[in-house]
Amino acid sequence: MSITARHYSRERNQRETEDMSLLRRASTSLSQSLGFARRSLKSLKFAGESLDSSASPALIHGIHVFHCPDELGIVAKLSDCIASRGGNILGADIFVPENKQVFYSRSDFVFDPAKWPRVKMEEDFLKLSKTFNAMRSVVRVPALDPKYKIAVLASKQAHCLVDLLHSWQDGRLPVDITCIISNHDRGPNTHVTRFLERHGIPYHYLHTATGNKREAEILDLVQNTDFLVLARYMQVLSGSFLSSYGKDVINIHHGLLPSFKGGNPSRQAFDAGVKLIGATSHFVTEELDSGPIIEQMVERVSHRDNLQSFIQKSENLEKQCLAKAIKSYCELRVLPYEENKTVVF
């Protein structure tokens, strides 16, 4: 090999060695950068998202609703109450009606129960309630607090009752059903009876007659409930019963109140040729079908509907509307507003 050839070979080997060294350094730097990026992305937190479980304890969900006279600083104090205990607000709904000087809010938040015990949370919100002379201040922690206990009253029509039972079985209805009360005697081999027997839910048949609504017996059966549900219960509860019970009663009405009151509402609406049908879920008051409305749903009908399809659509609306109202109530989304209205967040 000539001197020139050997010199060229040495230069090429030297350049290749330098290139390999540069490549290794670049590879190491890239690997370190990627590792940093992975660590940064893993530790990055976004507002409203849960914290990385490997870096923080398990957080649980809480709900707080507040109703008080309106004044400056309420939102700041509410936020500080939660943040000062290490909680994080995930969402908040606020309503201040024009010219009414009242304040409504509902807050969803997460917190560490080890840092903010449930009893201490109650004390903190109570203190806030006294500061602002609140008419209502309720806190609920679904994972720690008992489910609401309800009794369901129903008559012969079973579509709403069956839907509630199946929703409860599937875990979509956050309540415990203590019993079913009915003025209709269901046989031992019906779908409802078999379902209740499988799940250990008592069924109480109380025959009613004019002048005897069996209200004293109903009161005895529902003493340990948090609220009542009327799932197409075709009896009017008296003012005396409502006063003695003293808690909320939720009803489903077959139409957009105040239309088509009384018996056979689907036939009334069908004969009237309506183009929209609906269902209304509302609180029960002494005045028939006039309590504060919680939820309403509608569906279009036409001349192509016969009475059977008309009734089917109406019953589907009733089931959906009642279930939605109960769920909203249990999630503290329903607040009283003025004399006969509701705020539903």
In a structure prediction context, what are the per-residue pLDDT tens digits for the chain, which is 345 residues long?
A: 544 444 444 555 555 555 545 444 444 443 443 343 333 333 233 334 444 433 456 899 999 999 999 999 999 999 999 999 999 999 999 999 998 999 999 999 999 999 999 999 999 999 999 999 999 999 999 999 999 999 999 999 999 999 999 999 999 999 999 999 999 999 888 999 999 999 999 999 999 998 899 999 999 999 999 999 999 999 999 999 999 999 999 999 887 755 676 677 778 878 888 788 889 999 999 988 889 999 999 999 999 999 999 889 999 999 999 999 999 999 999 999 988 899 999
| Omega before 258 within 30 of 0, i.e. cis | yes
CB-based contact 234:212 (threshold 8 Å): no
CB-based contact 292:342 (threshold 8 Å): yes
Q: How many residues belong to the chain?
A: 345
**CA dihedral sign, ordered 119, 124, 127, 132:** negative
CATH of region 148-344: 3.40.50.170
Strands of 60-69's sheet, edge to edge?
88-95, 102-111, 60-69, 136-140
Of 280, 297, 176, 171, nearest in space to 230 by CA:
280
Q: Is the pTM here over 0.85, yes or no?
A: no
The residue written with tokens 């001197």 in the block is 3
Do 60-140 and 148-344 agree at the fold level?
no
- Positions annotated as catalytic residues are 289
Radius of gyration of the chain (CA): 31
pLDDT value for 47: 37
Report the C-alpha gap between 332 and 311 in whole angstroms.
32
Q: What are the structural domain ranges in the chain? A: 60-140, 148-344
Letter string b/e over residues 20-33, b meaning 16 or more CB atoms within 10 A of that residue's CB: eeeeeeeeeeeeee
What architecture is domain 60-140?
Answer: 2-Layer Sandwich (3.30)
Tokens read off for 54: 């490997």
Question: Residue 211 corresponds to which amino acid?
Answer: G
Residues 6+ apart with CB under 8 A from 242: 249, 284, 285, 286
CB-based contact 319:254 (threshold 8 Å): no
Report the C-alpha gap between 300 and 314 in whole angstroms.
10
